[in-house]
Structure 1
């Protein structure tokens, strides 16, 4: 299993083995909400693979890893964990940078920020700086994994419209309902659009989302598995605990051998 180059809010590092074990036979594997890509980088390659995210800088990062990992590695070997560097990167005008420089900027801001949000500089008195900006040895492996992958920067509804086939499988990890901290807006209307698409999708899907009473109503006609996942998305102790999460599919899953915790 490969480790993604960045962390991301809501990442599936703790659930990916279980999710991968639940993926059915398919030809085309699609992630409409890619994020860090924990599941994608953990599973075996499918015949056809599609990764998508609306975050332009995130998608640019994976494009540059696919095409220019050596140059990213060369530039990042000079970086250090510095509040001043963090502030300088934040002030940079993105449109004045090359795509490779944008990728380096993105990795730095995400890896050196609190909760990987790219907003405020992250530091500690009993932890070392995040290693992502120092260890680039994994980039070549990530490049190989992305070699035969379609990388899209579209809305999720357009991804379904373009790639939906009976042999398609979607791993959907959208922003959680009524949960703060996401960069891109995803409100009630977006959730309803996604639910309506999944009601009529030709392929199969696995959806991960927070356990919310409204969510249970929306997906009451599908298969649903309850689980608990530890998250740490805030400085307060209240934010560092296990949260209820739902795994929802439109196909039956044999849970006898699953270790859902």
Structure 2
């Protein structure tokens, strides 16, 4: 299964290789930097699995799709929308993190006039709860459209390419069903790892790559890279970590298993058909001593041929 969105740093191009490096046995799967969910959605569901991301727009969108798929589709609308004005509108909504409700306070005043104080408080509580639920749905759809209408899924600049939202309808139901037993968290990676760590836990981590952090909406500093290393160094379970191949990352993870690999560089593909991006897989266990590992996978054995709409995966 594919994700419903493309996302910066997505792992569609490498996920078959990543799966082959998973531990032979684990009882709980925790995806620490979930992003677009490409690794999660491409594997078989585990009995216990967690999707986490510190970007609350991502976690809200997937939670709404999981719990309120019909509301998401209804809010999505049945006609394609596209244009710079609507893109800037969604961008403004996401930056403010709210949908303006012009009529709520007027309704509250009327309730206080026509009902007793006790009745009014109960009714107002219900009204506000309904508004919050609708707010989550509206923010989720605004974020989804912002991704789809932006260049390279970066949510910053208008992509000037049409997208028919009706293409997403069937995927909403598939994603909702896939996430039905998945825990969705919106936590800092250290707090999440400490919460779910057990001897039988497996953490897959795909953090913002070193010196590319500016491409992401959530701040990730050089100190955060070191803090992630320190956190993973002290866990009871196993971890597999994907990173860009550079001297800094190799140095701070020099005491762990490091395997070189590469993927097609989709952003450069239009200029160079052979463009590749060097990466590393880092773990606290030997990925080669693994029942999942058959022959060594080469670049063109991987499922990397995405559509142009997913050029950043």
TM over 0.5, yes or no?
A: yes
Highest relative contact order (Cα 8 Å, sep 6+), 1 or 2? 2
Kindly state the Cα deviation for residue 132 of structure 1 after the two structures are TM-superposed. 5.5
Distance 1:85 1:20, change over 3 A: same
Alignment of 1:150-189 (within 5 A): 150-179=183-212, 180-189=214-223
Q: 1:253: which partner in 2?
A: 287
Kindly state the Cα deviation for residue 7 of structure 1 after the two structures are TM-superposed. 0.9
Runs (4+) of structure 1 exceeding 3 A deviation are 130-134, 232-238
Number of aligned positions between the proteins: 255
Q: 2:97: which partner in 1?
A: 94
Normalising by structure 2, we get a TM-score of: 0.77
Q: Aligned partners of 2:186 and 2:284: how far apart in 1?
A: 26
Match of 1:111 among 140, 143, 148: 148
Gaps of 5+ in 2: 101-134, 300-313
Q: Which has the higher helix share?
A: 2
Kindly state the Cα deviation for residue 136 of structure 1 after the two structures are TM-superposed. 1.8
Q: Aligned partners of 1:85 and 1:95: how far apart in 2?
A: 16
Question: 1:81 aligns to what SS in structure 2?
Answer: coil
Is 2:157 aligned against 1:120? Answer: yes
Q: Aligned partners of 2:269 and 2:159: how far apart in 1?
A: 11
Q: Which has the higher strand share?
A: 1
Q: Aligned partners of 1:130 and 1:162: how far apart in 2?
A: 39
Q: 2:237: which partner in 1?
A: 203
CA contact (8 A) 2:55 2:218 kept: yes
CA contact (8 A) 2:80 2:165 kept: no
Higher gyration radius (CA): 2
Superposed CA deviations along residues 60-84 of structure 1, whole A, max 9, x for unmatched, are 0000011111121122223422222
CA root-mean-square deviation = 2.0
Normalising by structure 1, we get a TM-score of: 0.91
Gaps of 5+ in 1: none
Q: 1:83: which partner in 2?
A: 84
Q: Aligned partners of 2:165 and 2:282: how far apart in 1?
A: 32
Question: 1:176 aligns to what SS in structure 2?
Answer: coil
Alignment of 1:1-261 (within 5 A): 2-24=1-23, 25-76=25-76, 77-92=78-93, 93-96=96-99, 98-123=135-160, 129-130=162-163, 134-179=167-212, 180-233=214-267, 237=271, 241-254=275-288, 255-261=293-299
